[in-house]
């Protein structure tokens, strides 16, 4: 088995093959176009490792550029994802080797790395722990991201806040910059990253949240593509939530706007919200959000110095 550091954009077709076989339905629809977009964000150079057995793709792992802010400090960084091994190559410790190879190459960067791991997957957690230790990185577990679902009710009372689609990137960036909770490792895209996010091959919208005519937050929503045994389901999904002062009313406004953003395109009248850890627990049910079985543990990995391991929560989208 050969492990090779590859250009993740050039390797997108092979990575797509590995991911689609590694994660049977129902699972995210890992198209090559999606991977090129996700791994092509502006910022530090994306990195990836591809495993091949006699030239045949066997496993893949990669990091996509991101930008973080915490207690006033900002830094480029990465989100680590796409860890995958094709079924016929599983059971050989390949996932551990992929983690080890990639993390060792990131050590010299000194940049913070966020990774999400299925909360109920003990083996995946152990592989990550061992790889982080072997690479000499520091690790901090953040609050678990539990997916929530939302179904709009025609009888629901109107919200005071309003979430409306916008193309005014400056307004969204201002709302993002206003987020300052010092417990939160904030996703902090700059103008270039925000512009790139709108090149998502799937339908995507930015929302500006207003209350009494003044901006109080922002959000990004997209139409997720889920591969199922029946075909491709398309589900409105809350990607990233930027609420400096989250309330049930403001969250409800965002969820309702998400449910209306892709009228005629979604295959089910439901909104998926993978990361609402920013919102106090007692505000979720009043907003209409209901927990599902899916949850992900979030971790910050740090090869260098910085305040990032003091964070308790992140609003970064689950990748």
pLDDT in tens, 111-146: 999 999 999 888 999 999 999 999 999 999 999 999
pLDDT recorded at residue 122: 87
In a domain, 319, yes or no: no
Report the alpha-carbon distance of residue 16 to residue 33 in Å, rounded.
9
- Token pair, residue 54, equals 């006699």
SS3 229: coil
Q: In 212-289, which ranges are E strands? A: 214-228, 231-242, 271-273
252 CB contacts (<8 Å, ≥6 apart)? 156, 159, 161, 286, 287, 288
Does residue 139 share a domain with residue 215? no
Cβ of 117: how many Cβ atoms within 10 Å?
19
pLDDT at 191 over 90: yes
In a domain, 197, yes or no: yes
Provide mean pLDDT across the span 75-104: 98
pLDDT recorded at residue 120: 84
Does residue 73 share a domain with residue 37? yes
Provide mean pLDDT across the span 215-221: 99
Does residue 218 share a domain with residue 306? no
Provide mean pLDDT across the span 81-88: 98
CATH number at residue 84: 3.40.630.30
Report the alpha-carbon distance of residue 141 to residue 108 in Å, rounded.
22
Does residue 131 share a domain with residue 190? no
In a domain, 37, yes or no: yes
SS3 252: helix
Provide mean pLDDT across the span 76-95: 98
pLDDT at 304 over 90: no
In a domain, 26, yes or no: yes
Burial string for 22-61 (b: 16+ CB within 10 Å, else e) reads beeeeeebbbbebbbbbbbbebbebbbbbbbeeeebbbbb
pLDDT at 190 over 90: yes
Provide mean pLDDT across the span 185-193: 99
Radius of gyration, CA atoms only, the chain: 19
Please give the residue range of the domain that contains residue 30.
Answer: 2-145+298-314
Q: What is the mean pLDDT of the chain?
A: 97
Does residue 135 share a domain with residue 13? yes
Provide mean pLDDT across the span 37-49: 98
Report the alpha-carbon distance of residue 256 to residue 151 in Å, rounded.
8
| Percentage of residues of the chain with pLDDT beyond 70 | 100
Does residue 66 share a domain with residue 6? yes
Number of domains composing the chain:
2
Does residue 267 share a domain with residue 165? yes
């Amino acid at each position: 088995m050969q492990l090779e550091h590859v250009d993740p954009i050039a390797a997108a077709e092979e990575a797509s093959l590995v991911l689609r076989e590694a994660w049977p339905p129902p699972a995210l629809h890992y198209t090559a176009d999606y991977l090129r977009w996700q791994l092509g964000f502006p910022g530090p150079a994306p990195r990836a490792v591809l495993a091949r057995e006699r030239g045949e793709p066997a496993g893949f792992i990669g990091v996509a550029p991101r930008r973080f802010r915490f207690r006033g400090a900002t830094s480029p960084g990465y989100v680590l994802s796409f860890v995958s091994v094709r079924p016929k190559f599983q059971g050989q410790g390949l996932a551990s080797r992929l983690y080890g190879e990639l993390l060792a190459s990131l050590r010299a960067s000194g940049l913070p790395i966020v990774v999400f791991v299925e909360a109920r997957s003990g083996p995946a957690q152990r592989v990550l722990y061992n790889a982080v230790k072997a690479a000499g990185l520091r690790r901090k577990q953040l609050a678990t991201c539990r997916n929530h679902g939302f179904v709009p009710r025609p009888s629901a009372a109107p919200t005071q806040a309003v979430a409306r689609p916008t193309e005014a990137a400056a307004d969204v960036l201002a709302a993002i910059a206003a987020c300052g909770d010092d417990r939160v490792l904030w996703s902090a895209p700059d103008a270039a990253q925000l512009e790139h996010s709108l090149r998502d091959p799937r339908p995507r919208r930015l929302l500006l949240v207003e209350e009494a005519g003044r901006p109080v937050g922002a959000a990004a929503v997209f139409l997720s593509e889920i591969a199922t045994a029946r075909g491709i389901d398309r589900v409105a999904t809350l990607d990233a939530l930027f609420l400096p002062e989250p309330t049930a009313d403001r969250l409800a406004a965002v969820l309702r706007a998400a449910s209306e953003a892709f009228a005629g395109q979604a295959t089910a009248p439901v909104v998926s919200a993978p990361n609402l850890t920013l919102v106090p627990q007692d505000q979720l049910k009043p907003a209409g959000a209901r927990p599902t079985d899916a949850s992900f543990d979030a971790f910050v990995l740090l090869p260098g110095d910085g305040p990032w391991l003091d964070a308790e929560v992140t609003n970064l989208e689950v990748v």
